[in-house]
Structure 1
Amino acid sequence: MMEQFIEIKAANPDSLLFYRMGDFYELFFEDAVDASRALGITLTKRGQHMGREIPMCGVPVHAADDYLQRLISLGFRVAVCEQVEDPAEAKKRGSKSVVKRDVIRLVTPGTLTEDKLLSPSESNHLMAIARIKGSDEAHYGLAWIDISTGSFRVAESRQARLLADVMRIEPREIVLPEQMFYDAEEHALVDQLGRRASPQPQVLFDSATAEGRIARYFDVSSLDGFGSFSRAELAAASAALAYVEKTQINERPPLEPPQRELDGDTLFIDPATRANLELTRTLSGERSGSLLKAIDRTVTGGGGRKLSEWLMSPLTDPKAIDRRLEAVGWFLNEGRFAEDLRTALRGVADMPRALSRLALNRGGPRDLGALLAGATAARQVAQLFAGRETPEILAGALEAIAAFPADFTDFLTACLDDELPLLKRDGGFVRPGYHGELEELRSLRDESRRVIAGLQLSYAEETGIRSLKIKHNNVLGYFIEVTAANSGPLTEGEARARFIHRQTMANAMRFTTTELSDLETRIANAADQAMAIELQLFEAMVGEAVASGTAIKAAAEALSVLDVLSALAQLAEEQGYVRPIVDESLAFDIVAGRHPVVEQALRRQAADPFVANDCKLSPPDDTTLAGAIWMLTGPNMGGKSTFLRQNALIAIMAQMGSFVPAGSAHIGVVDRLFSRVGASDDLARGRSTFMVEMVETAAILNLATNRSLVILDEIGRGTATFDGLSIAWAAVENLHEVNRSRALFATHYHELTALSESLARLANVTMKVKEWDGDVVFLHEVAPGAADRSYGIQVARLAGLPDAVVARAKDVLTQLESSERENPALTLVDDLPLFSAELHRERKKAETVASGPSPLDTRLADIHPDDLTPREALELIYELKRLSAGRPGN
C-alpha cells in the first residue's frame, strides 16, 4: 500500500495527497506533518519506511469539505485519491492485493465548485497570464475562468497596466509560465502576485497549438464563431483550459466560449487606487467597511457577484452607462412592483454553480432542486413583467428569462420530490407516483409485509383454506404452509401444477408458487432496483440540464442583472441618491456630494449627519480641453481625505450605472482613476514609505490623461520639508500643463497655494474650522480660500498627547514662528532642558510653591513616629498613600 502511495505522490509533488482508506482520507510523510500542523489534528504513525517511522494523520470523508476549505485558504493544493476498483476485484488477484487507487481531482483555490468552499456573492476566478515578446515590448494575454459558473473571459494587457488588470479581476489562483519566475524583468510582478501564482510548464502556453486546444475543448472546427483573438490571448486561454483539464482529470466543466474584453471598455483603476478607495475590502482585508458592502442590496448570490463585477469594472461608454441608469430609474419609479420582483428573486437559487457541479459529477438532488427553484422564479418574474413597457436593458433580460427551457422545467417539476436529500446515493428524490415500476419496488421495499399479507389472503380465498399462511425462514425463504389435513386443495387436480411442493412436516406441508418465488426475488432486490431506477432518472435529469446549459446560464445572468438594477434602485431610495449625468464631456460638477460609506456609518451610530460638499473640476469653458485642479488645504481630522475619496467613489458609482450620493452630479466619462492617499511601505521589496509614495506618483504622472481623475494627498511629506515642497510643486505644474487632468490635490504645504496666481485652472479651497477657547472645531465644510494654519498641535492634544508635551510644543512653535534667524531651531537648543522633563518638574515645583503646602505636606508635619502603635502606623501608611494619589502631578 505504501508503495502505491509513494508512486501516486511522486506524480503530484506540489499537492497534499488525500489517500482514501475506507471512511478516511489519510496523509503520510511530510504531507501528514504539514496537514496536522495546519488543521490542528493529531499526528500519529503507521509502520516504517527505510528504517524510519511514517508520520500519518487523517480526516473523515464526510467532513472532507471543511478540512479542504481550511487547507485551500492557507494556500495548499490537494490531490484527492480515490479507490477506482471494487475491493472484490482486488481480492481475485490475491488476498494481499491492493485496491487500485488514482487521483480523480486536484483541488486548488481557483478550481473550486463546492458550496462550502465558495462565497455566494464572490466569483472564484482562475487566471492564466501568457507573455508574447515583441520587438518593442512584451504583450500579455489574460484569460480568467470561473468553473463554478462557467464564465470565460480574455483580454490583452501591457506591462505598465498588467498588475492593475489582474487586480480588477481579483483571481484566487494565477498560472504563469515557469520561466517568468526566473526572469529578472518579471520578478517584481511574480513577487506582487504572491502565493496565488503557480508556475506551469511552458508547453501549456504555446501559442502555436493554442487555437487547436481551444477548438477541441469546445468541439468546434474553428474559433471564427467566437471572435478574433491575439496570439497572447489565445496562449492564455489555452493555458487556462489546459490547467482546468489537468485539475479536473476526466471531468469537463461546462464553460462558455471565451469572450474578449477590449482595452478602454472599462475604467482603468490602478492597484494602489483600488486599495486606497477600499472598493471591495478595507485596507485590513475586511469586507465590512468597503464600498461594496455599503451599496449591496442584492438578494441572490448571482446578483452579488454581478454587483461586484460592475463595481470593479465601471464602464466608459456613456450610452451603456445610461442604459443601466435608465433601468435603475425605472425601478425607482415602480416602487411596489420592484418589491414584488425582489420577493420573487429571493427564490432564485445559484443555478450556474449548481449546473457546474452536476456537469462535473459532483452534484446532487439539491442541485437539481436549485435549477427547479430558479426556473420557478424565472416564470414568476416573467409573469410580473407581462404587459409592461420596460427600458432596453430590462427587455433584453426578459427575453433571456422567457427562453428558459419549459420542457426541462416541466420534467423537473414532475420528477423531483419536494424534500430532497443531499446525496443521490441516499435516494428518495423522485416524486411518488412519477414512475410506475419504481413505485412497485418502493412498495416491496417499504411494505413487504403488507404485500405478502395481500397475497396470503388471495391464496386463502382461491383454495378455500382459511388457515393458509405465508411464512419465511432463512433456508426456504418465503413459503406457503397448510396443515396436512387441509393440503388436498393444493395437491389435487390443476392446483397441483400451480402449487409446488417444497417440504412435508409432521403436521404441515409447505408449498411455493412461481408468483411467490418471483415476489421473493423482487423483495430481496427491491432496494437495489429502486436505487438503480432513481439513479437512472437522476442521470436523465442531469443530461437534460447540461443540454439546456446555455439557456439556463443566460436566464441566470438575466436574473442577476434584474437583481442588481432593482437593488441599486432600493439603495437610491433608501439613501437619497440621485441619477448622475454621464456624457462625453470633461465635466466634473458634484453638488452636495457625500461619502457613501462614512454617511451610512454615521447613521448607524446616530451621530451628527454627514456634511455634504460641492466639487467642481469642470473646464472653465467648452473650448478648454483640460479640467480644473483644486488645491485643498486644512487641518488633519478636518475631512480632507474623506472629501478626496468621496468624489472618486461618486465617479466610480456613476460609471458602474448607479445613482450617486449627491444633490446633483454631472460627470464627463473618466478613462483612468488615480488615487494617492495614505501612507504605507513595502519593506519586503525594499521600499520605504516615501519610495512607495514616489512610485505611485510617478505612475500617475506618466499615465494620466485629460480625461482622467486624479486624487493626490500629501505628496512629498515623506522627505525633508524643502525637498517635499519642491516635488509637490513640480507635480502640480505637471498635472496642470502636461496631464491636464481633473484633479484634487490636498497638502499641508501652504506655499503651494501661491500657484493659483500662475496656473489658470488651479483654485484654492480649504476645510473650514473654528477655534473656541483654544480648542479647534472641525466643520468639515469645503470653502474657497487657503488655510493659514495646520492646527497640528490641537489635533495632537485631541489624540491624547501628555499636557506637558502639548505645552512644550506650543512654546517651540511660538519661538519658531517669531524667530528671525535663518535656522530658527538653533535658538531652541539651549532652551531644551533634558529634554523638557526638567522643565516639567520646574513648572510643577513653581505651581506647588504658588499654591501653598499640600495636604500631604501638612499631614507629614503633624506626625510623631515615636508615639505610633504598629496598628496606627499601618493605618497612617494607607492615609499617606491616599493623600499622595491625590497630589497634583500624580
Structure 2
Amino acid sequence: MDNNNYTPMMQQYLEIKEDYADAIVFFRLGDFYEMFFDDAILASKVLEIALTSRDAGAKVPMCGIPHHAVKPYIQKLIEKGFKIAIAEQITEAGKGLVKREVIRLITPGTVFEDGILDQNKNNFIASVILTEKGYATTYIDISTGESFITDNLVKKEALDLILSLDIKEVVCPTHFDKEFINELKQNDLLVSHADDYTIHEYSYMNHLEREQKRAASHLLNYLSKTQMQTLNHLMPFTHILKVGHMHVDYRVKKHLEIMESLTNSSKTTLEYWINHCQTAMGSRLLKAYLNQPLNDKKALNERYDYIEAFFPYKPREDMLEHLKYIYDINRIVGRISFQSVNARDLFQLKETLNHIPFIIDTLKLYDHPKIQTLAKDMKDHKDLREYLEKAIHENPPITVKDGGIIKDGFNEQLDDLRYTNDKGQSWLNEFESSEREKTGIKNLRVGYNRVFGYYIEISKGNTQFVKDEFGYERKQTLTNSERYISPVLKEKEDQILNAKERAISLEYELFKEIRIYVEKYTHDLQLLSTQIAMIDVFLNLAIISEKYQFIRPHLHDSRLVDIKEGRHPVVEKFTTFIKNDVVMDQGEIFLITGPNMSGKSTYMRMFAIIVYMAQIGCFVPAAKADMPLYDALYTRIGSSDDLSGGKSTFMVEMVESNDALTNATKDSLILFDEIGRGTATYDGMALAQGMIEYIHEKIGAQTLFSTHYHELTVLEHTLSRLTNLCVKAKEENDKMVFLHHVEKGTTDKSYGIQVASLAHLPKSLITRSKRILEKLEDKENKVSLDLFNYEAFEEENQNIIDAKDVEVLEELAKIDTDQMTPIDALLLIKHLQNIIKK
C-alpha cells in the first residue's frame, strides 16, 4: 500500500495503524470515532453497524460510532477479545491538519470504565515469566489498584491460577513456552507480548525481592506503555505464598462448582448461596477467599472469630442499611488516578463518606474486641467529606466540561461570573418585553445560536412593522421569519457570553483542582475500602450461618475427622437432604459402593464442600465439625473430555488421577468417583484396585473412593486403613427405593438394571437384560482379586522413572534453542534443577 495515494488525514491514520496493527483504531473525527479499511469491515460486523466508505484519495471502507456513547461499543469489542487504540485529537480544529495521537490502548485486562466491568468481580490482567525459582505470575486489577504476585510455581500451577481468577489477558515474553501459550488461547484468553523487564523502584514494590521485582516490572512496564501514564493508585503488592494455602486447582473448583456451574446456572454454585454482600468491595473480597482457601489454622480461626463477632442481631439491620449506600470506593479511586473521574463519581464518594460515621457508631454497639478494634481504626474522613459537600452539586452531570458541577459559595470568582450571567439572563428577558412593547409585535422573541450569537426574531407577517428608528439590522432570513441584531443587544452579548464561557471554563479548572485534592487521599480511601469489605464479608457470613444453620468448625492438629449430620449447602436448597456423618481416622480410605443415583457422589461432594468452606474461613453445614487442615484437595468427579486437546473422557480421567497420585501427601484429601469406568471391565477394575493400593501404601492420604466394582470391597480384609461404606437402597417389587444414607457395609451388586428401569427403558429390553445378567453371574469362574504384593510393587517401582524426571525430560524435549536468549537458557536450566532437587 502506497500511503502517498491517500489524503493527509488518511496518511495520518495509516501511520497510527502501523504502530497498533493488532488493535482496532478508534480515530477521532469531530464527534465520532471512525474506523477504516479492515478495522471498519471487522467492527461493522461485530458491532452490527453500517459499513460505508470515504473518499480519501481512493474509496476506503469506513464505519463510525458517536464518541459520547462509546462505552457499549467498547464493551462489545472487549468481550470478544479485541484491543482498541483510542486516537484522540490533541490540537484544536483550525488551520491545517488536526494532530492525533493514541492516548490509551484498551484491552480486556485494562478496562476501568464504570458500566463495562462487573462490579462484583475483579478484572485482573496477568503476566507470566520464568525465573530461576520457577514461573512467576503477577496480576493486577487496574480498576481497583489491587496487586498480587506469586512465584516458585510450576507451569501447571501458573495456568491453574490464571484460570481460577478468570483472567482475560495474559502478558508473556515474546519467545515463551509455546505449549503454555496454546493452553491460554484454547481457554479463550488474549495473549499479549512484552519483553521490558526494566525495574523501577515504585513504592508499592519496595518490599519485593529482586526476582519478584523483575516479574512485577514485566507487567507494570506493559501497563505503563498501554495506558500512557504511571499507575499511582496501585496498592503494595501482596505476595501470595504457596505455604499457608490449600492447593486446589481450577478443575477441582469446577468439579465442586465453587464459583462456576457445570449446568450454566449460577444457582448451583457455592458462591451464589453464600455471597449476599451489600457492597462491590465485599463481593470481590469474598470471591478472593473462595479462590484461595487457606491451610493456616491461626488465620482461619481469626476469620471464624469475626463471623461470631457479627452474630448479635440488634445492630445488624442498621449496619446493612448503611452498607447499601456505600459505593465502589476502589474503582472511584482508580478513575481519579486515571483522570477519568466525573463529578457524579465524586458525589458518590461524598455520599459514601456521609455513612462512615454511622458505620463507626454501629460497630461500637458490638461487644467484641475485634469489632471494637475495627471501629477504633476506621477514620471518618470528616475533612474530605466536608470539602466535597461544599464543592460538588447534589445532582451533577456526567460531563465535566459543560458546567453545572460546582456549588455556589465554593469559589468567589465563579460566583461573580454566575451572577453576571444570571443578571444577563434577566436583562435579556426584560429586553425582550420592552422590545415587544416598543414595536407592538407580540411574538417578537430574543434567541441565541453559536454562529450569530443573540438575535431578535420576527415572523414574516410582522416584518412590515419594523421601523428604521428601531436600529434593527437584518442578519438572517429564514422560511418563516427574519432575524435581526441591534447595537444595544450586541453590546450586552459580549458581556453575557464572556461570563458564561468563563464560568464554564473556570468550573472545569476547579474540578481538576478538586480531583488533585481528592487524589491525596488515595491510600486512606483504599484502607477504608478494605475495612468496609471486611465488615461486609463477615457480616454476610454471620447472617447466612444463622439463616442456613452453619456451625463453626473446630480445627485440630490430628488427622481425625468427626463430622455429624453433614449437609451439602447447595443440594439442600433443591431437595430434602439426608444428613450424613463423616468419621475418618488418619490415612483412612472409604470405599463407597451403591447404585447409581443413590448418593455416592453427593456424599463425597458434601465432605469436600465442608472442607472447602472451613478452609476459606466460613462456617459449615453440619451439627458438629471436628477436622484437620488439608494441604491439598484432589478430585476426580464427573465425566468430561477434552476433544480440542485430543483427550478422551478416559484419558482426562487418567490425567486428573495422576495429578493426585503424583502430588498428594499424607495431609491431602483425595476424592475419586468411579475410576476406570471408561475402559473394559477388567482394565478398569485393575486400575481402580491399583490406585487404592497405591494411595494406601505410598501416599497415606485420607481418600473417598466410590465405585461400581463391588468386587473391590474384599480389599477391606487386606488393607488395614480401608473401610467399606455403602449407600443404602432397597428393592421393592423389582423397583429401587433410594434411602441416600451412608453407613458401614458393602453392596454386593450395582442394581444397574433396576436404575435403567427407572429411566423407563423398554420392558422387553429390561427383561432380556436380566436374563443375560443371570447367565453372567452364574459362571463358575468368579472374578477374584490378586491382592496387593507390596514387595513386588517396590521391586517393580525401581524401574519406573520418577514423575519429576518425566517433567524435566518433557521440558527439555520442547525447547526451541533457536528462539532462546542466553539468559532464558540459564533460567530454564536453574528451573529444571530445582524441579529435580525438590
TM (norm. structure 1) is 0.78
Q: Which residue in 2 is equivalent to 1:586?
A: 559
Query: What whole-Å deviation, never above 9, does each CA across 1:673-704 have from its counterpart, x for those lacking one?
Result: 11110111112121111111111111101111
Is structure 2 residue 620 aligned with structure 1 residue 660? yes
1:55 CA drift (Å):
2.1
Letter of the structure 1 residue corresponding to residue 167 of structure 2: P
The alpha-carbon distance between structure 1 residues 288 and 37, as it changes in their structure 2 partners (threshold 3 A), is: farther
Query: What whole-Å deviation, never above 9, does each CA across 1:621-651 have from its counterpart, x for those lacking one?
Result: xxxxxx3211111111111111111211111
Is structure 2 residue 40 aligned with structure 1 residue 32? yes
Is structure 2 residue 83 aligned with structure 1 residue 77? yes
1:454 CA drift (Å):
9.7
1:11 CA drift (Å):
0.3
Q: Distance in 1 between matches of 2:749 and 2:182?
A: 41
Q: Which residue in 2 is equivalent to 1:125?
A: 124
Q: Distance in 1 between matches of 2:555 and 2:470?
A: 100
The alpha-carbon distance between structure 1 residues 341 and 70, as it changes in their structure 2 partners (threshold 3 A), is: same
Q: Which of 412, 430, 442 does residue 388 from structure 2 map onto?
A: 412
Q: Which of 189, 200, 213 does residue 193 from structure 2 map onto?
A: 200
Gaps of 5+ in 2: 1-8, 433-444, 455-467, 472-487, 784-838
Conserved? CA contact 2:428–2:446, under 8 Å: no
Conserved? CA contact 1:589–1:618, under 8 Å: no
Q: Distance in 2 between matches of 1:117 and 1:723?
A: 52
- Report the aligned-residue RMSD: 2.9
Gaps of 5+ in 1: 457-470, 479-504, 509-514, 603-608, 620-626, 824-890
Conserved? CA contact 1:378–1:559, under 8 Å: no
Q: Which of 376, 393, 396 does residue 354 from structure 2 map onto?
A: 376
Q: Residues 266-665 of structure 1: matches in 2 within 5 Å?
A: 266-332=245-311, 334-386=312-364, 388-392=366-370, 394-402=371-379, 404-450=380-426, 521-602=494-575, 609-619=576-586, 627-665=587-625
The alpha-carbon distance between structure 1 residues 507 and 567, as it changes in their structure 2 partners (threshold 3 A), is: closer
Q: Distance in 1 between matches of 2:61 and 2:528?
A: 51
Conserved? CA contact 2:261–2:269, under 8 Å: yes
User: What SS is found at the alignment partner of 2:70?
Assistant: helix
User: What SS is found at the alignment partner of 2:148?
Assistant: strand
Letter of the structure 2 residue corresponding to residue 347 of structure 1: Y
Conserved? CA contact 1:444–1:451, under 8 Å: no
Letter of the structure 2 residue corresponding to residue 431 of structure 1: K
1:228 CA drift (Å):
3.7
Conserved? CA contact 2:675–2:688, under 8 Å: yes
Q: Which residue in 2 is equivalent to 1:21?
A: 29
Q: Which residue in 1 is equivalent to 2:239?
A: 260
Is structure 2 residue 24 aligned with structure 1 residue 57? no
Is structure 2 residue 220 aligned with structure 1 residue 244? no
Q: Distance in 1 between matches of 2:511 and 2:765?
A: 76
Larger C-alpha radius of gyration, 1 or 2? 1
Query: What whole-Å deviation, never above 9, does each CA across 1:351-385 have from its counterpart, x for those lacking one?
Result: 11011112212111111122212212222111212
Q: Which residue in 2 is equivalent to 1:483?
A: none
Conserved? CA contact 1:589–1:615, under 8 Å: yes
1:672 CA drift (Å):
0.6
Q: Residues 814-833 of structure 1: matches in 2 within 5 Å?
A: 814-820=774-780
Is structure 2 residue 147 aligned with structure 1 residue 175? no
Is structure 2 residue 151 aligned with structure 1 residue 151? no
Q: Which of 684, 696, 711 does residue 671 from structure 2 map onto?
A: 711
TM (norm. structure 2) is 0.83
Paired residues, number: 734
User: What SS is found at the alignment partner of 2:239?
Assistant: strand
Is structure 2 residue 745 aligned with structure 1 residue 785? yes
Query: What whole-Å deviation, never above 9, does each CA across 1:812-852 have from its counterpart, x for those lacking one?
Result: 222222244799xxxxxxxxxxxxxxxxxxxxxxxxxxxxx
1:455 CA drift (Å):
12
Q: Which of 69, 72, 81 does residue 66 from structure 1 map onto?
A: 72
Conserved? CA contact 2:260–2:266, under 8 Å: yes
1:342 CA drift (Å):
1.3
The alpha-carbon distance between structure 1 residues 139 and 472, as it changes in their structure 2 partners (threshold 3 A), is: closer
Q: Residues 686-725 of structure 1: matches in 2 within 5 Å?
A: 686-725=646-685
1:87 CA drift (Å):
0.5
User: What SS is found at the alignment partner of 2:670?
Assistant: strand
Q: Distance in 2 between matches of 1:715 and 1:119?
A: 39
The alpha-carbon distance between structure 1 residues 472 and 110, as it changes in their structure 2 partners (threshold 3 A), is: closer
Q: Distance in 2 between matches of 1:187 and 1:238?
A: 20
1:535 CA drift (Å):
1.6
Q: Identify which range, 796-805 or 254-263, moves more after superposition.
A: 796-805
Query: What whole-Å deviation, never above 9, does each CA across 1:549-585 have from its counterpart, x for those lacking one?
Result: 0000000111011000000011111111111112333
Query: What whole-Å deviation, never above 9, does each CA across 1:2-30 have from its counterpart, x for those lacking one?
Result: 21111111100111111122222221111
Identity among equivalent pairs (%): 35
1:388 CA drift (Å):
4.5
1:768 CA drift (Å):
0.9
User: What SS is found at the alignment partner of 1:238?
Assistant: helix
1:246 CA drift (Å):
1.7
Conserved? CA contact 2:559–2:585, under 8 Å: yes
Q: Residues 674-685 of structure 1: matches in 2 within 5 Å?
A: 674-685=634-645
Conserved? CA contact 1:147–1:253, under 8 Å: no
Conserved? CA contact 1:630–1:745, under 8 Å: yes
Conserved? CA contact 1:141–1:235, under 8 Å: no
The alpha-carbon distance between structure 1 residues 808 and 36, as it changes in their structure 2 partners (threshold 3 A), is: farther
Letter of the structure 2 residue corresponding to residue 335 of structure 1: Y
Conserved? CA contact 2:401–2:505, under 8 Å: no
Q: Distance in 2 between matches of 1:176 and 1:691?
A: 29
User: What SS is found at the alignment partner of 2:175?
Assistant: helix
